Amino acid sequence: MVYLDNNATTPLDPAVVQKMCWFLKEHFGNPSSLYPLGQKVKALLTEAREQVAMALGAHRSEIIFTSSGTESDNLAILGVLEAQPEKKEFITSTIEHPAVIETARFLEKKGYVVHYVPVDSSGLINLEFLSSAISSSTALVSIMLANNEIGTIQPVEEVVKIAHKYGVPVHTDAVQAFGKMEVEVKKLNVDLLTVSAHKIYGPKGVGALYLKKETPFSPVIHGGHQEFGLRPGTENAAGIIGFGEAARILQERWRKDRDRLEKLAQKLKDGLEKQISRMKFNGHPEKRIKSTLNFSFEGIEGEALLMALATKEIYVSTGSACSEEAEEPSHVLLAIGLSPELANSSIRISLGRFNEEKDVETVLEELPAIVQELRELA
């Protein structure tokens, strides 16, 4: 099997599996219980919180664990808006993940004015649009750090400079950036930031929200005191401990992984460009996560290509895992100016920690022939 869909999810790192298995075998206490059985679990959760905080350059009191990146995005947006009921405007971009875009649509139905910042053909947001849309009525700006489909990296520091002039807090969805580039909350100067464990070789079903002190914020679900009372519910302890371990490993090796994957991805890109005609590369030439490659193949359905590759046990995707079942052309590819036909003829190849040179060689061997075959059939 050649797994090249690491932006959809990553395999668990063996050290994460080991830590989670140990935990599940040895511990079952409720971290809210005052006796040692519970307090031991509480201490392990604190350690995991410290590990995730350290990987982001944050303090552990600023990390709220959730059930996913999706929940963290929702919590960030709804929590900040809830705390400022007098402000009825929200700004985001046209190429956000559905976790943000669909929350924006929900807000529109509730009567909010949402400004969608457009992007250029490389996927970079228009900062002038942002400057003209923002005002003292804006409750929050949410702009993703790296795009999940094309990898384009947004100038989030610039977004923060503009927003903070108006006293508007900024959230960034860093789910795809975490582990692939430097993600330092203090450097970015954001007020809220989302990450998810299953994109960094950790378990599915656990995410985190960085929430800077003093940011206006109200919980959106109500219950006990867990997660500082900001996201109540008995913790997914095994998941959180796995997330902590994944974050610890990330700190040790993300730069090495990035450099190695950058070279592998470049080899793949060069090789495909040499062999395949009428193929368009989507994304920014430089300001992007280099291990994410998105191509359109004129005259071919992306889905047909995905299925043909799958018969060879090569796994890629046509876009975000969340939009894949919708059969609509990708909103990201439409936003960068592709026609619906070309958008539907695209695939995303995303490399990860466990890919090797031979995986790239296999794709270079198989993909050009499949493209030719499908074009002849069409």
Residue 68 binds to ligand PLP (criterion: CB under 6 A) = yes
Minimum separation from the CB atom of position 7 to ligand PLP (A): 6
Binding segment toward ligand PLP, per CB under 6 A, in 65-73, 155-163, 221-229, 273-281: 65-73
Nearer to ligand PLP, 172 or 296 (CB): 172
Binding segment toward ligand PLP, per CB under 6 A, in 25-33, 69-77, 78-86, 273-281: 69-77
CA dist 199 and 257 (Å) reads 14
Binding to ligand PLP by CB under 6 A, coded x per residue (else -) over 322-351, reads: ------------------------------
Exactly one of 127, 322, 334, 364 is catalytic; name it. 322
Can you give the chain as a three-state secondary structure string? Answer: CEECECCCCCCCCHHHHHHHHHHHHHCCCCCCCCCHHHHHHHHHHHHHHHHHHHHHCCCHHHEEEECCHHHHHHHHHHHHHHCCCCCCEEEEECCCCHHHHHHHHHHHHCCCEEEEECECCCCCECHHHHHHHCCCCEEEEECCCECCCCCEECCHHHHHHHHHHCCCCEEEECCCCECCECCCHHHHCCCEEEEEHHHCCCCCCCEEEEECCCCCCCCCCCCCCCHHHCCCCCCCHHHHHHHHHHHHHHHHHHHHHHHHHHHHHHHHHHHHHHHCCCEEEECCCCCECCCEEEEEECCCCHHHHHHHHHHCCEECECCCCCCHHHCCCCHHHHHCCCCHHHHCCEEEEECCCCCCHHHHHHHHHHHHHHHHHHHHHC
Binding segment toward ligand PLP, per CB under 6 A, in 171-179, 217-225, 301-309, 347-355: 171-179
Nearer to ligand PLP, 207 or 219 (CB): 207
Q: Please, are residues 99 and 142 in contact by the beta-carbon 8 Å criterion?
A: no
Residue 321 binds to ligand PLP (criterion: CB under 6 A) = yes
Nearer to ligand PLP, 78 or 272 (CB): 78
Q: How many residues bind ligand PLP (CB under 6 A)?
A: 16
Binding segment toward ligand PLP, per CB under 6 A, in 63-71, 103-111, 132-140, 297-305: 63-71
Q: Which amino acid is at 220?
A: V
Candidate residues 70, 93, 323, 346; the one interacting with ligand PLP per rule CB under 6 A: 70
The answer to whether residue 322 is catalytic is yes
**321 CB-near residues (< 8 Å, 6+ apart):** 8, 9
Minimum separation from the CB atom of position 108 to ligand PLP (A): 20
Minimum separation from the CB atom of position 278 to ligand PLP (A): 28
Binding to ligand PLP by CB under 6 A, coded x per residue (else -) over 114-153, reads: ------------------------------x---x-----
Residue 320 binds to ligand PLP (criterion: CB under 6 A) = yes
Nearer to ligand PLP, 123 or 207 (CB): 207
Candidate residues 173, 227, 235, 257; the one interacting with ligand PLP per rule CB under 6 A: 173
Residue 97 binds to ligand PLP (criterion: CB under 6 A) = yes
Residue 99 binds to ligand PLP (criterion: CB under 6 A) = yes
Window 185-214: residues binding ligand PLP (CB under 6 A): 196, 198, 207
Minimum separation from the CB atom of position 32 to ligand PLP (A): 25
> What are the b/e assignments for 116-126, b being 16+ CB within 10 Å?
bbebeebbbbe
Nearer to ligand PLP, 203 or 302 (CB): 203
CA dist 239 and 65 (Å) reads 10
Closest CA to 48 of 19, 14, 17: 19
Binding segment toward ligand PLP, per CB under 6 A, in 33-41, 66-74, 227-235, 349-357: 66-74
Contact residues: ligand PLP, CB under 6 A: 68-70, 73, 97, 99, 144, 148, 173, 175-176, 196, 198, 207, 320-321
Active site residues: 322
